[in-house]
Amino acid sequence: MHDIPEIKAHSGGLFQILRQYRRSQLLKFLLPTLLGILLFLTPVFVDGRITVMIAFIVDIINAVIKPIMVEGTVLVTVIPTIATVVVSLTTLKHNQNRFIQLFNPGPVWTLVRVTGAILMVMVYFQWGPEWIWHRDTGGVLLYDVGPVVVAICLLSSVLLPLLTDYGLMEFVGSLLSRAFERLFGLPGRSAVDSLASWLSSSSVGIILTTQQYRNGFYSMREACIISTNFSNVSLAYAYLLIKLIGLEQHFLIWYASVAVTGFVCALIIPRLPPLSRKPHSYFPPEGQQQVQDRQTGESLLALGVRRAVERAEHAASPLELVKRGLHVGGDIIITIYPAMMVIGCTGLALVQFTDIVHILSLPLVPLLDLLALPEAEQAAPALLAGLIDSIMPSLLGAGIESEVTRFVLAGVAVNQIVFFTEVAIVLVRANIGLSLLDLVWIYLLRVLVSLPVLSLLGHLLLG
């Protein structure tokens, strides 16, 4: 491995800085980085909608496997669950192979996997009580949510090292370190993390954050803040939400409002419990990774290039990075499906077959009235149902006549970040220090901050 040459000129233009490195060093940084930017961070127009290349590739994969996607969802739930039972009840649980340990999650998660697999089979064969397998409860999870998760999780987990391991985060982090530290108390590298989340998907952002935490680049508090404040649903999914609620003609001003609201939330929420109480501890096996200090007279651009080239020089082999990605993606997939069924079936059944969500949402009605949002009694249950799944406010609020109210509902659904059918499960399983109770509080805080901001913007823009 070649050493990074000593910096002789600490300032100057980009080309002057690049001349200090060998071509092979620059290519090892630039080629994977540019490919990662193309896949994860570059908006493209496909069939009249905005998306990113990775999402487009996932759509192609899902289209190819569409005839077997439902059955595949069942198998991806049931087979790993059987393997989990076998490993948990035999001497295999003592085998320290990292892939075998995926099937040794401990008693609680083993119970979750078994219960979720049973529910998945019941929904597929329409066995048992109707509230389990109804098309608007378990059917939503099996036919709408489940089939799209495998491709995005596996592909993202394998390809994310293009953003994280070849210098991009060091380069951007150096340039944005002051801004992110002053505004959010976060390292500058998290700017790439947040952008990947917004353009790709919330799961992509959480996976990226988890990898950075386990590699020692984020503390527990930083990982918790990033994953609950910047891991928004993707741009493409946001468009789906606004389309479902019938306001696609206002997409640009609505999405700008969502971005402003997200910025306000990111300024406020990390300074409140539970995030403010999370420790600045680092993942024990790795410990805190030291970031090179800026040399005397060195420009931020030169610092960024130097850090990026060194990071690329020390990157693991592509095969090892693929193994790590498959491990992270596999862990998420074999956990998220059963947990999604347990939480999602229960939550959606409460919405569709009981008045519990309506009753629990009653305290929101005076708040919505105070914000001058019409049809508050109908909007409140739709708003609260977002905790179950971010698509619920758009589905339940589509019949509301007021454009301003629908504008706010869809905006809060994006900015709430936390919902139980996917993000909450992924975050708990990521083991970065967030409990389900933490996530419920963070959801409530984000809703309470988002509501007045979006209401103000909605009245100004649509009123």
Quick check: is 43 in a domain? Answer: yes
Q: What is the mean pLDDT of the chain?
A: 85
Rounded percentage of the chain residues whose pLDDT exceeds 70: 92
In a domain, 396, yes or no: no
pLDDT tens readout for residues 111-145: 999 999 999 999 999 999 999 999 888 898 888 77
- Distance between CA 279 and CA 220 in Å, rounded? 6
Give the per-residue pLDDT at 212.
87
Cα Rg of the chain, angstroms:
23
Mean of pLDDT values over 443-452: 96
Instruction: Please tell me the pTM assigned to this model.
Output: 0.72
Per-residue model confidence as pLDDT tens digits over 64-115: 888 888 998 899 999 999 999 999 999 898 888 888 988 998 888 899 999 9
Average pLDDT over residues 52-74: 85
Number of structural domains in the chain: 1
| 360 inside domain | no
Q: Tokens 């024990």 correspond to what residue? A: 284
pLDDT attached to residue 59: 80
Sign of the torsion formed by the C-alpha atoms of 219, 221, 222 and 223: positive
Quote the Cα angle for 366-367-368, to 5°. 90
Residue that wins the pLDDT comparison between 107 and 340: 107
Q: How far is CA 386 from the centre of its chain?
A: 16
pLDDT of residue 7: 43
Residue 351 in any domain: the answer is: no
Q: Which tens digits make up the pLDDT trace of 259-306?
A: 899 999 999 999 999 999 999 999 887 777 766 556 666 788 888 888
Q: What is the mean pLDDT of residues 217-223?
A: 92
Q: How far apart are CA 217 and CA 237, in angstroms?
A: 29
- Domain assignment present for residue 414? The answer is no
Position 1 scores a pLDDT of 42
What is the full DSSP assignment across 405-452?
HHHHHHHHHHHT---TTTHHHHHHHHTSS--HHHHHHHHHHHHHHHHH
| Res 126: pLDDT | 95
Cα angle 244, 140, 414; round to 5: 45
Tell me the residue range of the domain where 301 lies.
22-343
Q: What is the pLDDT of residues 351-383, one digit of tens each?
A: 889 999 999 999 999 999 999 999 999 999 999
3-state secondary structure of 213: helix
* Structure confidence at residue 294 (pLDDT): 62
Residue 61 pLDDT more than 90? no
Residue 14: what pLDDT?
A: 66
Which pLDDT does position 103 carry in this prediction?
Answer: 93
Model pLDDT, residue 188:
75
Give the DSSP letter of residue 49: E
Residue 63: pLDDT band (50, 70, 90) is confident
Long-range contacts made by residues 115-118, C-beta under 8 angstroms, separation at least 24? 115/338, 115/341, 115/342, 116/77, 116/81, 116/337, 116/338, 116/339, 116/340, 116/341, 116/342, 117/77, 117/78, 117/81, 117/82, 117/338, 117/341
Has residue 176 been placed in a domain?
yes
**Residue 452 token pair:** 């007045």
Is residue 141 situated within a structural domain?
yes
- The answer to the question of residue 64 being in a domain is yes
Q: 397 near 241, Cβ under 8 Å? A: no
